[in-house]
Structure 1
Amino acid sequence: MSGRARPEPGFSPERLAFFTDAIFAIAMTLLAVELERPNDRELASAHALGNFLVDQRGSYLAFALAFILLWSVWRRHHKLMDRIGELSKAFTAWHAPLLLLVAFLPFPTALIGASISNPLAQTLFAGTMAAMVFCEAVIKEIASSTGLVTGDPAKTHRHAGSSWAVGLWFVLSAGVAWLFSDAFVLWFVAPLAATYGGALLSRLRTSPAGHLDPHDGDAPRT
């Protein structure tokens, strides 16, 4: 890559990666800032503090869940950016909605922390996560289809399928939330949607009309 021309201003992969890292770090920190602090009365005794902590258990669950989800999205983006040799306008532009949703996530997280069984709160959180992961999928599709990634673009294409599957899983959970108050438990098994749903989508996309793609056997087993 030493012979690659210097990127034009505004299209440096390193600067985009650094800025994205900063937004994720701020959003993950704000998740903790949103947690309610005990007042003087609740700090007066161990019993009062214990009652406060029990009452806030939904907030702690929401914080842990959102932190893990943001971490997983950031980690996947980190791996992608390590394979990006150059940027395109579309690849860069799609980071705007992605980072907007990342920065917004602390708000629906606070809502489900206050009332995790509320269907509208669950819908807002799941919708935000679905939109975020869909943006991630589009970014991967652009990277794999326009030659921005180094190495095998088919690998990034398969990873995009996993992101689409996770996004659809969150959309499904948003609908289920209006039928069952505990629909949020579906979020904890989103990795299964990435593994199995992503593999299914990749197979469907590479095998039109039910015929196996000659390279399908090269895909790693999940």
Structure 2
Amino acid sequence: MGGRVREPISDHHVGQRHLDRLVMLSDGVFAIAITLSAIEIKPEIVPGQSLWDAWKFPLMVYFLSFVLIGGVWAIHRRIVAHLRDVDGPATALNMLLLSMVALMPVVIRVSFSHRDPESINLLVYALSVAANYTCLAMFWFYAALVANLAPDVDRRLAWSWLLSKLFVVLIFVALAFYAEEMRVAALVFTLAALALRAVSSRMENAAKKDVQASAAAPPSA
């Protein structure tokens, strides 16, 4: 015990430990959210109703939620994979995202309370998904473009990924307006989302071409 070497821990190792703990906590919250979504499947059997009629709506909402939560997790995984470190504001934004993810089972329960796809359930569902992707966008914007926690990512590529997240936000905001029968606002947000997506794709393609050109260029003497 007395002969053990006591080497100082570098700031990089401390930051890496913080990032590792953040990833473990995040994966746990995502897993619990998906599990609770399945637990919330409690169809009401009406006399004379077939088993398929009783289960088709709950299963549809569950699998849609599985895809949405899984999509948020996949984007979150890509974000943290590019981070070298994590600081206080990034941790706070990540916790805000996890709070939105944890609410998804509650949103599913609200969705089961109405069967009309244009009632309050669609509005709540759309706003919940928009909130999740807004938190993702805020997390990535701060980490990559403000705090420079992902220095290996080209800034144009970072902006492209940010716009792709905002594209999803605008799509679901448009869906929320549609649920409220505000068709003009829904159309405006849909067109804005498509414009963002086009700009995002163009920026991503340009960044990738520059990276490929730099890799193919001969080293300078």
1:24-103 paired onto structure 2 within 5 Å: 24-36=30-42, 51-103=50-102
Q: 2:12 aligns with which of 5, 28, 36?
A: 5
Partner of 1:104: 103
1:60-87 Cα distance to aligned partner (Å, 9 max, x none):
1110101101101101111111111101
Tell whether 2:207 aligns with 1:218: yes
Q: Deviations over 1:90-118 (max 9, x none)?
A: 11111122111100011112222342424
1:217 CA displacement: 3.2
TM-score scaled by length of structure 2: 0.74
Please say if residues 122 and 174 of structure 1, whose CA atoms lie closer than 8 Å, have aligned partners that are also in contact.
yes
Relative to structure 1, the CA distance from residue 218 to residue 153 in structure 2 (aligned partners, 3 Å threshold; closer, same or farther) is: closer
For residue 13 of structure 2, what is the amino acid of its counterpart? Answer: R
More helix by share: 2
Instruction: Name the counterpart of 1:14.
Output: 20
Higher Rg of the two aligned structures: 2
Give 5+ residue unaligned stretches, structure 2: 1-9, 183-189, 210-221
Cα RMSD, aligned residues only: 3.1
Within 5 Å, give how 1:100-139 maps onto structure 2: 100-116=99-115, 117-139=117-139
Amino acid at match of 2:173: V
Q: Contact 1:58 / 1:115 at 8 angstroms: preserved in 2? A: no
1:14 partner amino acid:
D
For residue 206 of structure 2, what is the amino acid of its counterpart? Answer: G
Are 2:170 and 1:164 aligned? no
Q: CA deviation at 1:197?
A: 3.3
Q: How has the CA–CA distance of structure 1 residues 56 and 125 changed in structure 2, closer, same or farther, with 3 Å as cutoff?
A: same
Using the TM superposition, give the Cα deviation of residue 17 of structure 1 relative to its aligned residue in structure 2, in angstroms. Answer: 0.5
Matched residue, 2:148: 147
Q: TM-score, normalised by structure 1?
A: 0.73
Question: Alpha carbons of 1:144 and 1:8: their partners in 2 closer, same or farther (altered >3 Å)?
Answer: closer
Distance 1:15 1:107 in 2: 26
Shift of 1:170: 0.5
Task: Find the residue that maps to 1:56 and give its secondary structure.
Answer: helix
Alignment deviations for residues 99-156 of structure 1 (CA, whole Å, 9 cap, x no partner)? 1110001111222234242421111111111011001001111121121014124223
Structure 1: gaps (5+ residues)? 43-47, 181-189, 207-214
d(CA) in 2 for partners of 1:172, 1:110: 22
* Aligned residue identity for 2:12: A
Q: Which amino acid aligns with 2:22?
A: L
